[in-house]
Chain A
Amino acid sequence: MKVASTAAAGSGSSLPAAAERPLLTTAIIALLASILLAVPAYAAMADDPYVLTLASRILVFALAAVGLNIALGYGGMVSMGHSMYLGLGAYMVVLLHGVGIDSGWLQLLAIGVAVAAVAVAVGWVALRTQGIAFIMITLAFAQLFYYLFVSLKAYGGDEGMRLEQLSSFGALTGNRTALYYALLACLGVVAYATHRLVGSRFGLVLRASRINERRVKAVGTAPLPYRLAAYVLSALVCGVAGFFLVNLTGFVSPAYLEWTVSGELIVMAVLGGVGTIVGPILGAAGLLLVEEGLKGLTEHWPMILGPLIVLLVLGLRRGLWSMLPVPTHDGGDTATKARE
């Protein structure tokens, strides 16, 4: 079984994605993009700013889920702690304002440096372990940062605090529509970059090390640098998502780092289809819209969402994207096989 799946992965997955039905994939992505592009116009016409906020929220989490998927879907690293990078990105905005840096570009740069530094350190320790231990270590590190920010009384402690100053982008500061389009552009760039990355030699080694690490070593490649790089990249994307999240809500709180957020990010990636580019975006939209719907229904909405997730795990093993007649990025059904 193992041999078969590795062989399939070796021959099939190095091809560029969706080579078999490029037209359909393109059509679906174009449809998705045009819907997302039209949201601000619809919100303006319907005079419903909440639609824009909800759509922006979906984009923030879609961005984070696409980021998580680099580690989770392609690298097989089940990180239960990516909320800490989301929170780190968010808190950096407040911390930088405290030292007088309000320029959005400078803040993004600083977030990149800080998140990369933390991710290298955490990844270096966490990647020494595998399987269950990796899940638990990433979770514990996220808790470490959660409690760190809870104990920062100057920044609101466990209640969080309102932002004194949104990140400054000249005339566009505080413009919700501009924020939305910036998010959309960022998501597009990250999704395309991930697509290219996964198809490159780097992505090949990464995916191969997920399926059979021993073989990767046997052909003379050390998987650890690749895994660590993928982990750091995925953390960076989540950090940027945190930057957008705090500018969207105008509020920063340790709740962004709660471990349930990490859980939700995993749900989004898996719901949409791990190891695909568009999957996490669909998953983020799906989960947040379902949550939104259930919240309108009852205050005890997790009682419905929880069993729904369990049923999805038991039933829908390869995500929403796999229900569409498009090939996944991983060639055949190696994603399913690798699970066994």
Chain B
Amino acid sequence: MTPTLFVVQLLNGLQLGMMLFLMAAGLTLVFGIMNFINLAHGCLYMMGAYFAALAYGKTDSFFLSVVAAIVGMFVLAVLLDRLALSRLYRRDHLDQVLATFGLILFANAAVRLFWGSAPLYMEVPNWLAQSVQVLGLNYPAYRVAIIVTGLLVAFGLHVLIDRTRVGMLIRAGASNRDMVAALGVNIGWLTTFVFALGAALAGLAGAMAGPILSIQPGMGEPVLILTLIVIVIGGIGSIRGALFGALIVGVVDTLGRAVLPTLLFKLFDPTVAGAAGPALASVAVYVLMATVLALKPEGLFPVQHA
């Protein structure tokens, strides 16, 4: 593998990591504050992609379709939370797994009913369709835009959580819900806001995935499972853990797929390498997760409980 290709794959890994961060940030906040396991987070990502595709078809503007996905998912999440999910926060994890599993079945079938099983495609907007110079080589501007967006969201969340009054309440809610409620804060609406914020970020991820992946029913679940790995590796409830975990998983997954097969061909004879290469490449992140957990069950960046 040439150094150029290696750098390109590294950037691809970074880009995947940023997408995963957008997913993981919302999910980890919901886990941390509501102690709620939301398997349907992947559906929010899928719905975001479909909302964006729908808006793109109507307005022909990429920017507007991203905005539509974010706003649409925020509103949808507020409704979903108020109508159904808020009843589950005080239930045990088993009930939460089951109910959100039911939601996934529903969402995937509903999308198939309305838009059909055939994948939809979105185009990269003109102003991002060129390539830019990164580290001395040409790299698609659209993927750079994803990386920059991820960094901006990370910075924005840092300001929101650590520097504002709402963020203070969110952190307080994570430590002790009942105490925050007793102090006169409407914790119900606070959790709804956090859930909707996470959904909006998932919608943003889905909208941005549109031009590089195909939009189809069930597209959320592979991403969901990678996101779960990110959260487990990073430490549940931690935004910082979500960011670093996402970057680690993104880079390991991308480089694993790019480097491992060629590496094996050099080390073993072609029949062994041909069989083992793809297998090893696709399980690299799971092996990483198992290793992290065997050494640090709390994850790499656990939340410090005061």
Contacts and interface: CB of A to CB of B under 8 A. Distances in A.
Interface string B73-114: 000000000001001101111110111011111111110110
B207 interface: no
A140 B104 contact: no
B275 interface: yes
Nearest to B297: A128
B283 to A, nearest CB: 5
Classify the interface of chain A: helix, strand, loop or mixed: helix
B284 to A, nearest CB: 10
A45 interface: no
Contacts of A306: 102-107, 109
A296 interface: no
Nearest to B107: A306
Contacts of B95: 270, 313, 317, 339
Given A128-B297, A140-B225, A309 B91 contact: no
Nearest to B84: A310
Size class of A's contact patch? 35 or more
Contact of B112 (A72, A300, A305, A313): A300
Interface in B248-294: 275, 278-279, 282-283, 286-287, 289-290, 293-294
A136 B293 CA distance: 12
B236 interface: yes
B294 to A, nearest CB: 5
Interface stretch (A144-152, A190-198, A228-236, A242-250): A144-152
Size class of B's contact patch? 35 or more
Give 3 nearest A-B pairs by CB, closest first.
Answer: A306-B106, A309-B102, A306-B105
B132 to A, nearest CB: 34
Given A147-B279, A309-B105, A310-B102, A132 B225 contact: no
Contact of A125 (B31, B97, B294): B294
A129 B282 contact: no
Interface in A132-177: 132-133, 135-137, 139-141, 143-144, 147-148, 150-154
Contacts of B297: 128-129, 133
Contact of B290 (A141, A313, A338, A340): A141
Interface stretch (A3-11, A213-221, A259-267): A259-267
Nearest to A264: B101
A301 interface: yes
25 contacts: A78-B94, A125-B293, A132-B35, A133-B232, A133-B236, A135-B37, A136-B229, A137-B293, A141-B286, A144-B283, A144-B287, A147-B283, A148-B279, A259-B221, A266-B94, A270-B94, A306-B106, A307-B102, A308-B102, A309-B105, A310-B99, A312-B98, A313-B98, A317-B95, A340-B90
B103 A266 contact: no
Contact of B232 (A137, A267, A313): A137
Contacts of B110: 300, 303
Contacts of B93: 78, 131-132, 135
Given A132-B236, A139-B225, A147-B279, A309 B98 contact: yes
A331 B203 CA distance: 46
B232 A140 contact: yes
A19 to B, nearest CB: 27
Contacts of B97: 78, 80, 135, 263, 266
A208 interface: no
A99 interface: no
A139 B228 contact: yes
A263 B101 contact: yes
B289 A140 contact: yes
